Structures are given as C-alpha cells and as structure tokens.
Amino acid sequence: MDNDTKEALRQLAEQFTLLTGQLTRLQSYVDVLLFVAAKQIEPDRPLLALKVLRDQAEAFLALDPTEIGRKEVAELIDALKQMKKTGSDPHEA
C-alpha cells in the first residue's frame, strides 16, 4: 500500500470517527426530546409514552416510499382498468 492510499485511509478513519461522535450526540438530543414529549403526553407514565413514541418512529422509518408509490400506481392502474370496463369512474357513486 502506497503512502497516498495510507493517508486517504487515515483521513477516512478520522472522518468516520468524527461522524460517529456527532451521530451519538444527535441521538442523545433526540432521546431527550422524545422523553420531554413523552412527559407532556403522559405525565404519570412517561416511560409508556416513550415506548409508544419510539414504536411509532420505528414504524414510520420502516415505511418504504418506493413500495408506497408502487401501491398507489397499482391502485391507479386498477381504477383506470375499471373505468375502461364500465365506462365510468369507480369513485363516483
């Protein structure tokens, strides 16, 4: 491995270490904000509210925008096929 490659890897490792520290700090801030929100939502049971908030956040993050788009397109195609078959808009009733 030449010196330029070693230097590039060293710089990359340094940047990665800095990024990891910043990500840890950001996660701490998010955790504090979630706890503050949980205290406001359920003052007597903030840990329960915190669990609900985290579950909702995980569910939101699990959403695949590509899959949602596919479903919307599939629904649109189905509606167009129905319109073509019946000659009317299936949403009109």
Find the mean pLDDT for residues 4-25: 91
Contact 90, 82 (CB under 8 A): yes
Contact 49, 36 (CB under 8 A): no
Instruction: Dump pLDDT digits (tens) for 31-53.
Output: 999 999 999 999 999 999 999 99
Which residues does 47 contact at the CB level (< 8 Å), separation at least 6?
38
Residue 93 located in a structural domain: no
Residue 91 located in a structural domain: no
Structural domain containing residue 62: 3-86
Q: How many domains does the chain have?
A: 1
Q: What's the pTM?
A: 0.55
Q: What is the pLDDT of residue 17?
A: 92
Residue 61 located in a structural domain: yes
Residue 10 located in a structural domain: yes
Residue 27 located in a structural domain: yes
Residue 66 located in a structural domain: yes
Q: What is the pLDDT of residue 33?
A: 92
Pull the structure tokens for residue 31: 């955790």
Contact 16, 8 (CB under 8 A): no
Instruction: Dump pLDDT digits (tens) for 62-72.
Output: 787 787 777 88
Residue 92 located in a structural domain: no
Residue 35 located in a structural domain: yes
Which residues does 49 contact at the CB level (< 8 Å), separation at least 6?
37, 38, 39, 41, 42
